[in-house]
């Protein structure tokens, strides 16, 4: 049998939880507060994907590099060690663009001409 909580406990327009809704995305908040553009993000991704292992290790261990960027590099290393390239694929899609899918189509078009004017009807 379905148990219905008492009226004072049920959520309603007047009875809402103290922390209602989703927590704000910290990454989006950081981007907005620091006025980072999508081009900036694309450039960072492209730059990081072109660096060799030693350069990335230097970035990851440098305490003067922003924490977010160090975390980004750490995630790349973790993915490569696990053999998981999903995050790298997403990063490539963001920096270079998704691969265009080839669309194949076929069909027939029947045209009827007016014999006198040679115009389409």
Would you say 23 and 30 are in contact if contact means Cβ atoms under 8 Å apart?
no
Tens-digit pLDDT profile for residues 31-87: 788 888 878 878 888 888 888 989 999 998 999 988 888 888 888 888 888 888 887
Which of helix, strand or coil describes residue 90?
helix
Could you write out the DSSP letters of every residue in 5-48? PPTTTS--SS---TT-SPPPPHHHHHHHHTT--HHHHHHHHHHH
Tell me the pTM. 0.49
- Asked if residue 86 belongs to a domain, the reply is yes
Q: Tell me whether residue 87 is in a domain.
A: yes
pLDDT bracket for residue 117 (50, 70, 90): low
- Tokens found for residue 35: 């006025």
The mean per-residue pLDDT over the stretch 101-112 comes to: 73
Please count the structural domains in the chain.
1
Q: Report yes or no: 77 and 56 within 8 Å, Cβ to Cβ.
A: yes
Residue-number span of the structural domain to which 76 is assigned: 52-97
Q: What is the pLDDT of residues 2-29, one digit of tens each?
A: 777 777 777 777 877 777 777 777 777 8
DSSP 83: T
């Amino acid at each position: 049998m379905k148990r219905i909580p008492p009226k004072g406990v049920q959520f309603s327009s007047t009875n809402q939880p103290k922390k209602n809704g989703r927590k704000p995305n910290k990454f989006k908040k950081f981007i907005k507060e620091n006025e980072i553009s999508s081009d900036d993000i694309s450039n960072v991704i492209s730059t990081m994907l072109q660096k060799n292992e030693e350069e990335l290790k230097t970035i990851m261990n440098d305490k003067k590099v922003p924490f977010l960027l160090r975390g980004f590099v750490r995630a790349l290393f973790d993915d490569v060690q696990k053999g998981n390239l999903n995050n790298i694929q997403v990063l490539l899609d963001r920096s270079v663009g998704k691969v265009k899918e080839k669309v194949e189509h076929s069909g027939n078009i029947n045209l009827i001409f007016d014999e006198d004017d040679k115009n389409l009807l």
